[in-house]
């Protein structure tokens, strides 16, 4: 079904409006899908609020059955779902399949973790007093997610919120509605009760304002840009709507002189180009020790020369397109800024005649060049030589963002120094995936508020309540 899903029914936008879904690979129109506004959002919130009155009183064991069934449905349909994700994002099928498999894992994991929303009994300082803490679901949760991982991003929040006993109104990106529809389909086929999960595909500004201003909605989980996150914070300050924000990043990678430079160089490019660089935790600034810098650059340059951009969907994986013209122009503008500031473009940066492609580029920069402070979110790999640990830590931390960071070294002492001094919510030591279903996804500074994934992700949708008895 390529429609909105409100109160258990598949429906068009209230005013009948449509969104033309454009292929980022060919620029052709793939489909016309419902495109609502604040009225659709309001209707979905009302349905979710009505359903919450019953859903909150169910047991986590009951809720788990729906989440497990949804996870199984995703696994059974992973190929078809991945095809549609690849079609609307341009990402390789290998990545699209993996995204749906992880999304299914999240639903299954929270089905089990919901059973562990433990409270505690607190020993009192008074003999006649008994006190305990319990956790209860917040209420209706709005989930607003980005286009770069249209299955994985919402799965983290939706699965956790439903497991906690909340009801959900999800707004996926209008650039990737097919993946959103498939999440709704999985929950519908799982038999989720009416109104517990609702999906809208709507105009972002008016529906976002409706979520902030509607008193029935208690929290918004948002994945997207720091700019929009700050707009939501401004609005929430007036309504006391709670927020979880997973925002932008500018991840540094510190590559010490003791590593196997050939292995790391090959891996670095692969990590950089995942989803064409459109990843919030994407490695962006590669700080490579000066003693191995030239060798690292030569290997990456050679690897880039062998890459091909192209349309994904089959078994051959190409470097895919950026999601839309705006993102393509952003990457091209960053390249121009780099050139104007004196950076060296070793290879790449060419724009395709058709589709939103930019050939991967290798940029040699200096810490003093200001373009490196902007989040890339594209296939641009920035390399900077460094000399000392103290120098590179200062450079790595010189950003408003604090999401992911990476270190590659064969010395435990060095690894510990970097890990303790990097000002980021996540530090990957000798790995490119410093996250996981069972692990907290942590952003600090301008990279976010709250947590996704892991046990911490469940707590985001639970309210703590103290119950205290006197005169016992």
- The set of catalytic residues is 246
Burial class (CB in 10 A: 0-12, 13-18, 19+), 341: middle
Neighbours of 153 (CB within 10 A): 28
- Is residue 141 within 8 A of residue 218, CB to CB? The reply is yes
Number of H helices and E strands in the chain, helices first, is 14, 24
The pair of three-digit structure tokens given for residue 3, joined into one six-digit string: 């429609």
Nearest Cα to Cα of residue 136 among 468, 453, 467, 464: 464
Angstrom CA distances, 312 to 83, 316, 322, 390, stand at: 9, 7, 12, 43
Phi, psi of 300, rounded to the nearest 5 degrees: -65, -40
Q: Can you say whether the dihedral through the CA atoms of 22, 23, 26, 29 is positive or negative?
A: negative
CA distance 340 to 90: 30
Strand, helix or coil at 39? Answer: helix
């Amino acid at each position: 079904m390529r429609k909105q899903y409100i109160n258990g029914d598949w429906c068009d936008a209230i005013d009948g409006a449509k969104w033309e879904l454009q292929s980022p690979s060919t620029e052709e129109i793939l489909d016309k899908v419902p495109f609502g506004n604040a009225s659709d959002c309001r209707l979905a919130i009302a349905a979710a609020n009505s359903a919450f009155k019953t859903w909150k009183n169910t047991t986590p064991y009951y809720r788990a059955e729906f989440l497990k069934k949804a996870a199984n449905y995703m696994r059974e349909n992973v190929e078809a779902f991945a095809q549609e994700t690849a079609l609307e994002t341009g990402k390789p099928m290998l990545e699209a399949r993996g995204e749906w498999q992880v999304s299914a894992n999240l639903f299954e994991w929270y089905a089990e973790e919901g059973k562990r929303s433990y409270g505690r009994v607190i020993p009192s300082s008074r003999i006649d007093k008994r006190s305990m803490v319990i956790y209860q679901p917040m209420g209706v949760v709005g989930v607003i997610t980005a286009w770069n991982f249209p299955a994985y991003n919402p799965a983290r929040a939706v699965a956790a919120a439903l497991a906690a006993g909340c009801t959900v109104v999800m707004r996926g990106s209008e650039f990737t509605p097919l993946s959103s529809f498939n999440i709704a389909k999985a929950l519908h086929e799982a038999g989720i009760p009416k109104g517990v999960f609702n999906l809208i595909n709507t105009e972002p500004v008016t529906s976002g304002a409706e979520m902030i201003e509607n008193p029935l909605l208690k929290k918004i989980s948002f994945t997207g840009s720091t700019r929009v996150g700050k707009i939501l914070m401004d609005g929430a300050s007036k309504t006391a709507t709670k927020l979880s924000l997973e925002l932008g990043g500018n991840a540094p990678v510190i590559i010490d002189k003791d590593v196997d430079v050939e292995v790391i160089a090959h891996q670095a490019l692969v990590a950089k180009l995942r989803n064409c660089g459109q990843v919030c935790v994407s490695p962006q600034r590669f700080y490579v020790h000066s003693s191995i810098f030239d060798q690292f650059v030569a290997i990456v340059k050679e690897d880039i020369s062998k890459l091909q951009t192209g349309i994904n969907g089959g078994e051959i994986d190409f470097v895919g397109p950026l999601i839309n013209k705006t993102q393509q122009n952003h990457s091209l503008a960053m390249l121009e800024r780099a050139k104007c500031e004196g950076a060296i473009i070793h290879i790449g940066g060419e724009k395709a005649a058709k589709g939103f492609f930019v050939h991967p580029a290798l940029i040699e920069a200096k810490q003093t060049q200001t373009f490196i402070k902007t989040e890339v979110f594209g296939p641009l790999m920035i390399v900077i030589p460094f000399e000392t640990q103290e120098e590179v830590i200062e450079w790595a931390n010189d950003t408003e963002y604090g999401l992911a960071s990476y270190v590659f070294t064969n010395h435990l002492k060095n690894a510990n120094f970097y890990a303790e001094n990097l000002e980021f919510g996540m530090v990957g030591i000798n790995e490119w995936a410093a996250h996981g279903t069972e692990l907290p996804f942590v952003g600090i500074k301008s990279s976010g508020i709250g947590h996704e994934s892991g046990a911490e992700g469940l707590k985001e949708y639970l309210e703590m309540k103290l119950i205290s008895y006197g005169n016992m």
